[in-house]
Structure formats: C-alpha cells, structure tokens
Amino acid sequence: MLRMVLAGALVCVAALDAQRPEFSLRDTRGVLHSPEEWNGKKAIVVFFTTTDCPLSNNDVPEMNRTRQDYQARGVAFYAVQADTTIADADVLQHTGDYQFSFPVLFDPQQILVKTTGATTIPSAAVLAPDGTLLYLGRIDNRVEDFNVRRQEPTKFDLREALDAVLDGKRVPRPRTSAFGCAIALEKIKGVN
C-alpha cells in the first residue's frame, strides 16, 4: 500500500514538472535564465514584446509599474522578444531606450510563446511556478481595437489576475483578447 501511495505521489510530481517548460534563455545583459528561478515564487509574469510595435512600446511604463507593485509580493517578471527576426543589437538598444526594469529574454525557438499560446504583441501571461498557465491576454484595456483607444485604461486585466493568484483565488477571466501585432511562429527544424 505504501509503495502505491509513493508511486502515485511520484507520478503527480512528474506531471507537475512536465508542465514547466525547459529552457535556458539569455537576457539582454547576457544573464542566463531558467525555470529553476521560479521556485519559491507565487507567480511568473511574461510580457510578449518587440522593438517595432508602438502598442507594445506604449505599454512598457505600465509593465514597469506592475513589476514595481508586485515583485515584492513574490512575482517574477520577464519580457520576451517575441519577433525572432529582430537583430540582437536592436533589442539591446530598445531595452535601454525604453528602460525595461526586468530581464528581456531572447527566445529564438519561441519556447515561451509556444508554452503559453501567446499570439499577440503586446500581451502578458501569468504562470504558476510549476508552469501552469493561469492567465493570458491583454495588460489593460487602453487599446481594444483599431478605433477604440483610451487615454487611461479603465480595466487592468493583468493586475486583476495577479491579485486573484496572490489571494489564492481562481483568476476570474483567465483569457482576454489582446490587441496588437501578431506573433509569427518560426518554423524550427525538429521543433514544429
């Protein structure tokens, strides 16, 4: 009986580990990041950005404010350069120009894009430390469509999701529609 319980526990642990993506991604400062950094965190936020998307660039101040407000509460923050065709030098310049306050990752195989199912720049994903996707969608409702733009957002979807996760509750709207530039999935030999 004890063997069956232990075997069942090992299967459960293996299933949780199977959800967590495996990667070692370099950021714009040359530091390598991996999912092991997620241990002990309450949530992980991944922003999908690119250098030449004005909507994404306009969201960087809110991304930085969100990190400032939630990092001390156990949330880790990253941005992913989602367009793999942009030169590294351009990404480095962009990261400095827009003053990202958290690591901006190069992800040439789009591991985090594929793991989360992200399709739009800008968008945000919230993950549990085991890799479970808890939220995917817009950061806020500043831009809802080509002709629907606000000076100030009235709904902060990402913050709402983070508040729910940190309160131990289910995210009320785990998916929202992000508006912006499409993420082109790259065909990578042996991966797609």
Q: What is the pLDDT of residues 127-161, one digit of tens each?
A: 999 999 999 999 998 877 667 676 787 789 999 99
Per-residue pLDDT, averaged over 46-60, amounts to 94
Residue 161 lies inside a defined structural domain of this protein: yes
Residue 191 lies in a domain: no
Is residue 43 within 8 Å of 33, Cβ to Cβ? no
Q: How far apart are CA 170 and CA 163, in angstroms?
A: 10
User: Is 189 among the domain residues?
Assistant: no
**What's 163's domain CATH number?**
3.40.30.10
Residue 64 lies in a domain: yes
Over residues 84-108, the pLDDT tens digits come to: 999 999 999 999 999 999 999 999 9
pLDDT at 5 over 60: no
Is 187 within the bounds of a domain? Answer: no
How many domains does the structure of the chain reveal? Answer: 1
For residue 54, being part of any structural domain is answered with yes
Specify if 148 maps to a domain: yes
Tell me the two tokens of residue 75.
């949330």
Computed on alpha carbons and rounded to an integer, the radius of gyration of the chain in Å comes to: 17
Asked whether residue 190 is assigned to any structural domain, the reply reads no
Domain enclosing residue 135, as ranges? 2-182
